[in-house]
Structure 1
Amino acid sequence: MPPQSEPLPPASETGAEVYEIDPQASVLHIHVFRGGTFARLGHNHVITSKSVTGRVWMRPQFSGSGFELSFPVADLIVDDPDARRAAGSDFPPEIPAADKDGTRKNMLRKEVLDAENYPKVKVQSVAISGSLQAPRISARITIKDATRDVVVPATLAVNGSRLTASGEFDIQQTDFGMKPFSVALGALEVQDRLHVRFNLVATKR
Structure 2
Amino acid sequence: MSTVWRFGDSDGTLQVLTGVDGVAARMGHRLTITIKTWHAEVSWDGDQPSAFTLRADVNSLAIDDGEGGVTPLSAPERVLARSNALKTLGANRFPEIRFDANTVEPTEAGFRLTGTLQIHGRRRDHCLDVAVTDSGDFWELSTSSAVRQSDFGIKPFSMMMGSLRVADTVTVTFTATRPKDS
TM-score, structure 2 normalization: 0.85
For 1:188, the aligned partner's letter is: L
SS in 1 for 2:168: strand
Residues of 2 paired with 1:71 and 1:59: CA distance? 25
The question of 1:69 aligning with 2:54 is answered yes
Of 161, 168, 171, the residue aligned with 1:185 is: 161
Q: CA 1:187/1:44 → structure 2, altered by over 3 Å: closer, same or farther?
A: same
Q: CA 1:66/1:90 → structure 2, altered by over 3 Å: closer, same or farther?
A: farther
Q: Is the 8 A contact 1:19 1:163 kept in 2?
A: no
| Cα RMSD after superposing both structures | 2.7
C-alpha displacement of 1:126: 3.3
The question of 1:168 aligning with 2:144 is answered yes
SS in 1 for 2:19: strand
For 1:114, the aligned partner's letter is: G
Of 35, 40, 44, the residue aligned with 2:26 is: 40
For structure 2, list consecutive stretches of 5 or more residues without a partner in the other structure: none
The question of 1:199 aligning with 2:175 is answered yes
For structure 1, list consecutive stretches of 5 or more residues without a partner in the other structure: 1-14
C-alpha displacement of 1:116: 1.0
Residues of 2 paired with 1:114 and 1:136: CA distance? 30
Q: CA 1:163/1:56 → structure 2, altered by over 3 Å: closer, same or farther?
A: farther
Q: CA 1:159/1:56 → structure 2, altered by over 3 Å: closer, same or farther?
A: farther
Counterparts in 2 of 1:143-162, with a 5 A limit?
A: 143-157=119-133
Which structure has the highest strand share of the two?
Answer: 2
C-alpha displacement of 1:184: 3.1
Q: Deviations over 1:105-135 (max 9, x none)?
A: 11111xx211111111111113211258542
Moved more, 20-29 or 52-61: 52-61
Q: Is the 8 A contact 1:26 1:50 kept in 2?
A: no
The question of 1:95 aligning with 2:81 is answered no
Q: Is the 8 A contact 1:73 1:119 kept in 2?
A: yes
Aligned to 1:23: 9
**Percent identity (aligned):** 25
Q: Deviations over 1:51-89 (max 9, x none)?
A: 221311122363x611111111111111x25xx6xxxx7
C-alpha displacement of 1:181: 1.1
